Structure 1
Amino acid sequence: MISVIIPVLNEAIGIAACLDLLIPCGDHLELIIVDGGSHDETRQIVQKYPVKLVSSTLGRGAQMNHGAAIATGDILLFLHSDTRLPTDFIETIETTLTNFEAIAGAFRLQIDDPQPSLRWIERMVQWRSQFFSLPYGDQAIFVKTSVFRELDGYVELPIMEDYEFVRRLKKQGQILLAPTAVKTSARRWQKLGVWRTTVINQVIILGYHLGINPETLRQWYRQQYH
């Protein structure tokens, strides 16, 4: 059993498309949607599906921890609602984790936009994930439940919770990159442009390593998109 944990906040536009792809997988999955306080139609849409819908305090780390706490699967898959899994994701996850040294994995990244510059971003993500074992949350990180609980899950940071978690995770064992890709929304890159978005992301990482308060980083990050 794979427990798929999807943190949401005002995702009425895309959540149905996400769930429509997962529901046919049936008995292989446990679907847990963790709402952080949506004030659009997200909850009403999710309630139409045979999934577990729970509420949590706002924050992706807190929401994913809440979902993991009630999960019953041997594997946890953390999925952003605007990311689409490949059709063979169940087999891919199971095969990846049969490697006796592997404790976790993630998918390659495909960005849903034909811009040639985004192909460079995808290559950079693959290079970072393969050689530094640093996949990010939009790559659908999956991990053995026992390992996740040994690490006490995500630190509930306002930003960079996936980066912090993976850095701790890689000290426990191998994080493998799956041979297939997830397709994620290009809305971040489309809003500000590819290279400006990339620079913003690198500034956030640098600020994190310099010890800048994560709440300060989160506020600055949000200002760039408004």
Structure 2
Amino acid sequence: MIFAPDSSILVIFCRRPTLGIGKQRIAAMLGPQAALGLSELLLATTLEDARAWPGPVVIAPASIEDCEWARNLLPSVRVIPQSDGNLGTRLSAVDSQLREAGGRRLLYIGSDSPALTSAHLHEAAGALLDRDSVFIPARDGGVTLMGATRPWPELADLPWETAELGRALALRCEEKGFTISVLKESFDIDTREDLADAPQLLCNDARPARVSLVEWIVNAGVPDNPQDAISIVIPVYRDLSALEALLKTIDAMAASVNEVIVVDGEHSDECKELCVLHDCRYLATSPCRGEQLRLGAARAGGEVIWFLHADSAPPLEAPELIRQHIASGYGGGYFQFRFQGTRRWYKQLLECAINFRARAGIPYGDQGLFCERSAYIKAGGFAATPLFEEVSLVHNLRRQVRFASVNAGIGVSPRRWERDGWLRRSIHNRWLAIAFMLGVAPERLVRRYDATRDTGGG
């Protein structure tokens, strides 16, 4: 695979439409079968653009198993499967292979931006004649197209799947000396609002795949999204027995919860099967709790997001308590720390100390943090770190919204204290917190936190 040096290469990052995979916010609203139908129609709009593209086209499917499927999508298409890791890591890997094959002007698009036209693509390619990079912003803060004539700078640590991506991506390129062209904003389809707006935004587009998409959306209808709809996000890593117990508890709340998203750091088939059994959305990413939480929040469809550790035991009335506090004007909050198991005086003493710390400072993730989606986005989301990922988020939420201390306990697993000793574990946790406050990187501290890490808090 060798490219002519003057060619503009269109690279399509896509996932094979599969029932239960992708478009999770839409699936939470319309059901998985409808989400699959939408994914197929959106892919058709992208292929419509690719057929009209005069230069080389490369398809980068999400899995190496889908290479044959990708080759059958278009005649003469070239296929490079995506690697593991977040989108930044995967994009950099594909970019490197294409440049080794002689590619210079590379334009990257996804498969969910039906407003892109041939004119947009040609304008972007033209911009790369005298600029190092080009972007078409998305109205949600991301990008619908990104292109460059040079290898991308480090992308893995950028805030993918958040409203901060577009700005962070442009800033990173500027820091590395890239000249930049930013074209007119477009939109992609990820949320209820995107779906509701699409018929009007595409009403004058006569391209056949766009016409079919608009007809499907109109016929499917877009239901209202209740302002108190709750999405639960659960990061997990090798802790399936605890996760199963939590999902059974959530099943008992079924009428009160709109969506459950499990983000697996191990890419485990057993975890995926457990999610199917309990009708949860399954996502997978690298084993970093901050990245797992960020991904889950980005895919959540509810107006309120509730973050639970896999080994937690929330009260059955928790969703109603969350709704009551949101309706009372709070933008977020947390529950009281309570150890699971038999009550003991030393447990109660430690609970009092932890709950005092939470009121005076930062409640940690094992206390069932929740917040409105808008507040989460404004606060910047979780840090993409394996430990203390919630500190900056909670700090910003406290500054921006009323933050509730819910008068109900959430069960926290005592297994680390029981294993390490109650006093020793408590001192160790405080030492980690002080080290973090003094600037020690979470990536260093996590190695001291637990050699057999799971998702429970401490």
Answer whether TM exceeds 0.5 for this pair. Answer: yes
> How do 1:1-226 and structure 2 match up within 5 A?
1-29=229-257, 30-39=259-268, 41-100=270-329, 102-113=330-341, 114-130=343-359, 132-223=360-451
Gaps of 5+ in 1: none
Residues 57-96 of structure 1: CA deviation (Å, up to 9, x unaligned): 2211111111111111010000011111112111110112
Q: Which has the higher contact order (CA 8 A, sep 6+)?
A: 1
Deviates more, 1:25-34 or 1:147-156: 25-34
What CA distance in whole angstroms lies between the structure 2 residues aligned with 1:28 and 1:223? 36
What CA distance in whole angstroms lies between the structure 2 residues aligned with 1:27 and 1:111? 27
Cα deviation, residue 221, structure 1: 2.1
- What is the one-letter code of the residue matched to 1:46? C
- What is the one-letter code of the residue matched to 2:357? R
Cα deviation, residue 103, structure 1: 1.4
Does structure 1 retain, via aligned residues, the 8 Å contact 2:252–2:316?
no
Helix, strand or coil: the match of 1:32?
strand
- TM-score of the two chains, using structure 1 as the length reference: 0.92
What CA distance in whole angstroms lies between the structure 1 residues aligned with 2:316 and 2:254? 13
What CA distance in whole angstroms lies between the structure 2 residues aligned with 1:191 and 1:141? 26
What CA distance in whole angstroms lies between the structure 2 residues aligned with 1:32 and 1:158? 19
Residues 102-153 of structure 1: CA deviation (Å, up to 9, x unaligned): 21111111101333211111111221222x2521111100011111012231
Higher percent of residues as strand = 1
- Number of corresponding residues: 223
Deviates more, 1:110-119 or 1:184-193: 110-119
Deviates more, 1:109-118 or 1:32-41: 32-41
Does structure 2 retain, via aligned residues, the 8 Å contact 1:4–1:78?
yes
Does structure 1 retain, via aligned residues, the 8 Å contact 2:264–2:284?
yes
What CA distance in whole angstroms lies between the structure 2 residues aligned with 1:38 and 1:71? 19
- What is the one-letter code of the residue matched to 1:67? G
Q: What is the percentage of aligned positions where both structures have the same residue?
A: 26
Computed over aligned residues only, the root mean square deviation of the Cα atoms, in angstroms, reads 1.8
Helix, strand or coil: the match of 2:432?
helix
Helix, strand or coil: the match of 1:82?
coil
What CA distance in whole angstroms lies between the structure 1 residues aligned with 2:268 and 2:327? 41
Helix, strand or coil: the match of 1:153?
coil
Does structure 2 retain, via aligned residues, the 8 Å contact 1:9–1:42?
no
- What is the one-letter code of the residue matched to 1:192? D
Does structure 2 retain, via aligned residues, the 8 Å contact 1:10–1:40?
no
Gaps of 5+ in 2: 1-228, 454-458
Deviates more, 1:59-68 or 1:107-116: 107-116
Does structure 2 retain, via aligned residues, the 8 Å contact 1:83–1:182?
yes
Does structure 2 retain, via aligned residues, the 8 Å contact 1:31–1:52?
yes
What CA distance in whole angstroms lies between the structure 1 residues aligned with 2:437 and 2:362? 15
- TM-score of the two chains, using structure 2 as the length reference: 0.47
Q: Which structure has the greater CA radius of gyration?
A: 2
What CA distance in whole angstroms lies between the structure 2 residues aligned with 1:24 and 1:111? 21
What CA distance in whole angstroms lies between the structure 2 residues aligned with 1:54 and 1:224? 22
- What is the one-letter code of the residue matched to 1:41? E
What CA distance in whole angstroms lies between the structure 2 residues aligned with 1:87 and 1:26? 10
What CA distance in whole angstroms lies between the structure 2 residues aligned with 1:99 and 1:127? 23
Does structure 2 retain, via aligned residues, the 8 Å contact 1:80–1:140?
yes
Cα deviation, residue 27, structure 1: 4.5
Helix, strand or coil: the match of 2:450?
helix
Does structure 2 retain, via aligned residues, the 8 Å contact 1:12–1:40?
no
Does structure 1 retain, via aligned residues, the 8 Å contact 2:379–2:400?
no
Does structure 2 retain, via aligned residues, the 8 Å contact 1:133–1:176?
no
